[in-house]
Amino acid sequence: MSLVPVLAFLVFFAGIFGAYWAFVVRPEQEIAGVARKRLKAGKAGAREAARRSAVLKQIESMSSVKSIDAMLRRSEGRVKGLQVLIEQSGTQVTVGTVLAASATLALLAFIVVQRLLSTAMSNVPVGQL
């Protein structure tokens, strides 16, 4: 087995990841840092900030189904990126809705591919397998 494809993959992956970090992640982190500094400077007090964050936590539910919402809250670190993307898009969609739609589309794709492959395989004579 040649090492060239693996090295080519690693070089391209590093280049794409580096460009993504340089042009997307780093500017977002800088903007978030500026926003954090502004929020810290404008705090009226710890009690007021805690009250505001408690209200925000109540408003931001990840799913309308309580059990799914609890599961998503437990794995908040894993879905935080998706939640940020949904918030940035400005749509009125929850994380649970996006995950349910993704799972449904994945299941549909699996069923279609399975049916196509089973039909194609049934047309192949057994002696040629």
- The structural domains of the chain, with segments of one domain joined by +, span 7-42, 79-123
Strands (E), 5-102: none
For the ranges 82-96, 99-113, 115-129, the one whose mean pLDDT is highest: 99-113
Take residue 58 and report the two structure tokens written for it: 């109540």
The amino acid present at 10, given as its one-letter code, is L
User: Mean pLDDT over residues 2-27, rounded?
Assistant: 88
Question: Taking the complete model, does pTM exceed 0.95, yes or no?
Answer: no
Residue with tokens 């049934």: 122
pLDDT one-digit tens code per residue, 63-101: 778 888 888 888 888 988 988 898 888 888 888 999 999
